[in-house]
A = this chain, B = another copy of it.
Amino acid sequence: MVMNSERATIEDVAKRAGVSIATVSRVVNRIGTVSEKTKARVESAIVELNYYPNSAARGLAARKTYTIGLIAHEIDGEFFQPMLRGIERVANDHGYDVLFHSTRPDARKRTSIGEHNADGVIVFANGMTEDQLLNFHLQNFPVVLLHRTAPPGLSLPCVTVENQTGARMMVDHLIENCGHRHIAYLAGPKDHEDSYWREIGYRESLAAHGIDEVLVGEGRFEIQASKETVTRWIRERVVMDAIFAGDDESALGAILAVNEAGLRVPDDIAVVGFDDIRLARYLTPPLTTVRAPIEDAAAEAVNQLVRLITTGEAEPLTMLPTELVVRQSCGVRKDHR
């Protein structure tokens, strides 16, 4: 097969099939009516010429880019993979490509693109400031929020998981089934809503059980930061039965700190997490955590975004259920029961 290095255009296909470009466009896009005979001719011309529509031309003419953007602040943690996987899979199912854009402060962002080279965007957590979100909204640009809610006054569809309920279940379990009373919380980044709601759930459970001893430390959803906080607590002889880490990464850090202090999980201090990342079951001891359907949430965000792009409306709030996963790191106090 000798191939021309130039790409075939709709013109070439039309010529070869002996029809107009309008007809080629119809069969490519499966709209309008085309006789079976013509359709067959066009289709074989497409195959013979290895024709792919030029998406820039298509985008210009139809005012659609068939791509959606994913805007995130950082590519970090185990969390990111299932999210990207969910987004990419569903986007492709809908015929969209996904453009990835990180908003690290050091990014030069010379590209105006990322913001405008897509039919809509999914904004993950703190990937954009409220001002930027407002700006999109003013331009009528389709946005769906993932793992965060809209700024006050702005109604942007969002999909997230039941953080508060999940945290509540977890702390209830720690208190009721494991017999822990002195429970610390390792918080995530301040501007990260997942952490915010998890903390609410934590406080709610304590209050419901008449425990007013609240201990919150900084974990930033990072191994290192969490480890340092827990190490400090241990050094300062803070009384703790259990540590509820804001996410599984933090739980990892907490476990490391406990081990390094010569103590044992869960016998001396129990450690539990949130998310149920891939690694959770493989830790020693296997991590008790709350399963968050990260990939599903991401997939649903794409569904809503596509709906928003095509119909102009979307579900204001989708909240996916979380589930308690009891393994061994939560322990059971000997004096319990």
A residues apposed to B, CB below 8 Å: 3, 5, 7, 50, 52-60, 65-67, 75-78, 80-81, 84-85, 88-89, 92-93, 95-102, 104, 107-117, 138-140, 223, 252, 256, 259, 278-279, 282, 284
Across the interface, which residues of B come within 8 angstroms of A100, CB to CB? 84, 88, 98-100
What distance in Å separates the Cβ of A14 from its nearest Cβ neighbour in chain B?
A: 18
- In the complex, the chain B residue whose C-beta lies closest to that of A81 is B75
15 new A-B contacts at CB < 8 Å, known A55-B116, A95-B110, A97-B99? A3-B138, A3-B139, A7-B139, A52-B116, A55-B113, A55-B117, A75-B81, A76-B81, A81-B81, A85-B102, A89-B107, A92-B110, A93-B108, A99-B100, A259-B284
Give this chain's copy count: 2
- Asked if A92 meets B111 with Cβ closer than 8 Å, knowing A57-B60, A99-B97, A139-B5, the reply is yes
Determine whether the beta carbon of A67 is less than 8 Å from that of B99.
yes
**Contact status of A114 and B140, CB under 8 A, knowing A57-B60, A223-B282:** no
- CB nearest to A87 among chain B residues: B100
Q: A151 to B280, alpha carbons, bound, how many Å?
A: 39
Q: Which B residues are CB-close (under 8 A) to A102?
A: 85, 88-89, 92
- 13 interchain pairs (CB within 8 A)? A3-B138, A3-B139, A52-B112, A52-B115, A56-B58, A59-B59, A66-B113, A77-B81, A80-B81, A85-B102, A89-B107, A92-B107, A223-B278
Given contacts A102-B88, A111-B97, contact A56 B53 (CB under 8 A): no
A259 partner residues in chain B, CB cutoff 8 A: 284
- A56, A81, A102: residue with the most chain B Cβ atoms closer than 10 Å: A56
